[in-house]
Amino acid sequence: MRKENLTEKLNRLLQSEDVVNFTYTKKNGETRHARGTKKPSAIIAVNEDALPKGTGTPKTGVITYFDLDKEAWRALQETSLVSIETKESLEMNLV
């Protein structure tokens, strides 16, 4: 079985979780801590008009997500992803 890489894991979590906390490096070099989702029910709870209208074609090497703090769609380069804060990693920090 092939191990899931960080980008694949983020994409999977964004589809299945109401809130995903992750960190990436912005184009200007700043570190950005984001709270995002792609889960329709979570997006509707924040802004019912924010669901994508069309099907669109995903860009290679880019991750899109709905930013729960900004209440808007954002994107980041896959290569700029630094970490994902999962329930497991948060529990490990408490030990």
Spans of all domains in the chain: 6-94
Q: pTM score, two decimals? A: 0.83
pLDDT tens digits for the chain (95 residues)?
566 799 999 999 999 999 999 999 999 999 999 999 999 999 999 988 888 777 777 788 999 999 999 999 999 999 999 999 976 544 444 44
Element (DSSP H or E) covering residue 20: strand 20-25
Query: In the beta sheet, which residues pair with residue 9?
Result: none
